[in-house]
Amino acid sequence: MGYTIDIDTGGTFTDGFFMGGGRVHTVKVPTTPHDLTVCLMNSIKSGAESFQIGVEDLLAQTDVIRFSSTIGTNTLIERNGTKIGLLLSRGREEGLEVVNDEDDSPLVYPEMVRTLTGEVDEEGNEKEVLDREEVLRSAQELLDQGARCLVVCLGNSVYNPVHERRARSWIKEEYPRDYLGSVPVFLASDVSQLPGDQERINTAVVNAYIHARLVKFLYKAGEDLRKRFYSRPLLIVHATGGVARVSKTRAINTYNSGPAAGLMGVAALARLYNVPKLVSGDMGGTSFDMGIVMNGQPNFTLKPDVEGLALSTPMVAIKAIGAGGGSIASVRKGRLQVGPQSAGALPGPACFGLGGTNATVTDADIVLGCIDPAYYLGGKMQLDAQKAFEAIENRVASQTGKSVLEAALAIRDTVDATMGAQLKATAESIRPDLDPVLVIYGGAGSAHCCGLARHAGIRKIITPRYASVFSACSLSSMDIWHIYSRRLGHWIKENGRMSTGSEISRVLEEMHAGASRDMRGEGFDESDVRYRVEFFLSSGDDTPEGRIRIRGLEWEAGMAETLQKQAPRFSEAESVFSPVVFLHATAAIPHYEITEQQPGARDPSPARMGAREVCWSEDGFIETPLYDRGKLMPGNVVEGPAIVEAVDTTYVVREGWTYTVDAYCNGIFEEATA
């Protein structure tokens, strides 16, 4: 029997999704920020216990482990990455976003920048040669000042990387890899071949900044697994929506990979339900991550914003705000504020009993009766209701003149309003004329979805069967996926005639050669690999205005028809320019497959597990029916107000809403029409 293991590390909890022998088990363990290999192994231990076998037995029979982590994100937030020496073309050192004199912890300190002579023009021609002695002298100066890696970002290398490659070759000749003083040398042209020198500098620097910590962690994680008899490669989730071996992963690929995985899962739901527009909300303990899916495809960006820096690399488009179960509620100048600061995993909310004294959203949910402190994580973690009450009383109620219940309601309503407003803005950013359906997930999402949906103007919500660990569940549907990009700068249609340009074919052949090499390294034959070519389109400059996708590598056949179907505006144009071309290479690995069941009775009574006093409004507590999510069957409908309890989350059904388990065992919230 072969198992698959999918693990997503969040800011508060690490989620695991385990499959084997036709069974699925999910686990949540506290994230260990000091060393994420600890929570990785704790998750695997919990998964093994669920199958009632030993860790070594589980790993010896495991076919796939897919893993996403927050290491890159944490490194940028905490500013504890590698000390970088930056080599630039002369005249390009001004106004750099990664070099900030006013920042106490910039990614690159001003004194760690050196400039070089030499010039490549925008046609890719070498106008002035690079000076070897200047390169080596500059590198030596940076190393003497403590640089642990060098980043080379030279002007117009997107058109011709010859100077960057020459600089690296000279540095490596001087500092061979077998010398203790050898340091990594990163080239902007290797990390990104998309237009925009400023964005490419940012991308190369961010990649180098988080590289060392990721290498240390991922190789330790791999070694820990091998010691316990796991014999296959550890697969790392990429922010582009696929997975790859550690040896085929760049550090920048891992940034925001967990939220990206969740959005890929949302895209699968869009295709399953045939919904044209879905917006997603992932409410965990630390953040609320939002995305959008149109016609079954997640929204991608070529210039993501990472900690305020514009990058030049493809990523699934995710917007995050500081709103989660661990978001801290405080009173500032007489006004209640919830987030963006979070109590995290340690010490966590006050109710965790780990030393935290701040009032959080989770503390408010306990005071209101929405969460049962004795049944948190299915009873595996006991929460302290008294500590939650005291934290809200001391931090919020006493400073606002409210009762503890009023303060808890205000915390709940404030965080719901914040998330709802942001979600509405996200939904309206694309096709505002089209009403969206919301997919909500994360450990805290199901408790707040009705409230935030009302603020967002959304009346239908899908909560996946494994909502609390949905990002980890989404990993289980991911394949090996590599994306290659090049600046093309070529007309695919000119003066009404379709191109048969050899330049396009040459660029695609180069990318195909790299893809074949990487897929062999992943263990796949060419016959196992599926290719897709993606042309970005514009009217004649480097700003993409549309795109088309072509299956396979034969791009010329049917190009006119493809334009007509996928980009009709460009089909009618006399000339169409393609500034950028992408090649996608994928290979299938074991998946979790959603199964459909025959819906049964509407009556949810067999799943009724009693009642609890819950405070829904300032009118106080009312006796509220409780249902066991594990006993609700397809077709069952729960009418609000009600609480549906699962082992890993709580579904709060507000008055005026219904909660239905559908044929796929997903939960559907719907607001009653007026």
- Per-residue pLDDT of 543-586, as tens digits, reads 788 889 999 888 877 788 888 888 888 888 888 898 889 999 99
Range of 260-274, 302-316, 480-494 with top mean pLDDT? 260-274
User: What's residue 336's pLDDT?
Assistant: 94
Q: Has residue 352 got a pLDDT over 70?
A: yes
Q: How many residues does the chain have?
A: 674
Average pLDDT score over residue span 152-156? 93
| Residues whose CB falls within 8 Å of the CB of residue 140, separated by 6 or more in sequence, listed in order | none
Any idea what DSSP says for residue 208?
H
**Whole-angstrom distance, CA of residue 397 vs CA of residue 390:** 10
Q: Has residue 33 got a pLDDT over 90?
A: no
Please report, for residues 116, 136, 155, 434, the alpha-carbon distance to residue 133 in angstroms, rounded to integers and kept in the order given: 10, 5, 19, 60
Q: Has residue 180 got a pLDDT over 90?
A: no
Average pLDDT score over residue span 516-531? 94
Average pLDDT score over residue span 36-49? 94
**Whole-angstrom distance, CA of residue 184 vs CA of residue 215:** 12
Q: Has residue 503 got a pLDDT over 90?
A: no
Share of the chain above pLDDT 70, in %: 99
Q: Has residue 674 got a pLDDT over 60?
A: no
Q: Grade residue 498 by pLDDT with cuts at 50, 70 and 90.
A: confident
Q: Grade residue 516 by pLDDT with cuts at 50, 70 and 90.
A: very high
**Whole-angstrom distance, CA of residue 114 vs CA of residue 132:** 14
Q: Has residue 300 got a pLDDT over 70?
A: yes
Average pLDDT across the chain, whole number: 91
User: What's residue 368's pLDDT?
Assistant: 97
pLDDT tens column, 130-152: 999 999 999 999 999 999 999 99
Q: Has residue 279 got a pLDDT over 60?
A: yes
User: What's residue 102's pLDDT?
Assistant: 67
User: What's residue 479's pLDDT?
Assistant: 94
Nearest to 592 by CA among 468, 478, 480: 478
Average pLDDT score over residue span 174-190? 86
Token pair 């000119």 in the structure block, residue: 494
Contact call for residues 415 and 288 (beta carbons, < 8 A): no
Q: Is 406 exposed, middle or buried (0-12, 13-18, 19+ CB in 10 A)?
A: middle
Q: Is the pTM of this model over 0.85?
A: yes
Nearest to 645 by CA among 339, 375, 261: 375
pLDDT tens column, 438-486: 999 988 999 999 999 999 999 999 999 999 899 999 999 999 999 998 8
- In terms of phi and psi (left: phi > 0; alpha: psi -120 to 50; beta: otherwise), the region of 556 is alpha
Contact call for residues 255 and 315 (beta carbons, < 8 A): yes
User: What's residue 1's pLDDT?
Assistant: 60
Alpha helices in 150-283 (DSSP H): 162-174, 188-191, 197-227, 257-273
Please report, for residues 495, 557, 558, 573, the alpha-carbon distance to residue 498 in angstroms, rounded to integers and kept in the order given: 9, 10, 10, 11
pLDDT tens column, 384-415: 999 999 999 999 999 999 999 999 999 999 99
**Whole-angstrom distance, CA of residue 176 vs CA of residue 169:** 10
Lowest mean pLDDT among 29-33, 263-267, 529-533, 622-626: 29-33
Lowest mean pLDDT among 174-183, 330-339, 432-441: 174-183
Q: Is 509 exposed, middle or buried (0-12, 13-18, 19+ CB in 10 A)?
A: exposed
- Give the HSE-up count for residue 82: Cα atoms under 13 Å, Cβ half-sphere: 28
pLDDT tens column, 190-234: 999 887 888 999 999 999 999 999 999 999 999 999 999 999 999
CA–chain centroid gap for 447, Å, is 22
* Structure tokens, 668: 């559907």
Nearest to 652 by CA among 437, 416, 383: 416
Q: Is 341 exposed, middle or buried (0-12, 13-18, 19+ CB in 10 A)?
A: middle
Q: Grade residue 101 by pLDDT with cuts at 50, 70 and 90.
A: low
Helices and strands: H and E segment counts in the chain: 17, 37
CA–chain centroid gap for 663, Å, is 28
Contact call for residues 279 and 444 (beta carbons, < 8 A): no
Please report, for residues 30, 33, 442, 655, the alpha-carbon distance to residue 347 in angstroms, rounded to integers and kept in the order given: 11, 11, 20, 34
User: What's residue 573's pLDDT?
Assistant: 85
User: What's residue 672's pLDDT?
Assistant: 83
Q: Has residue 501 got a pLDDT over 80?
A: no
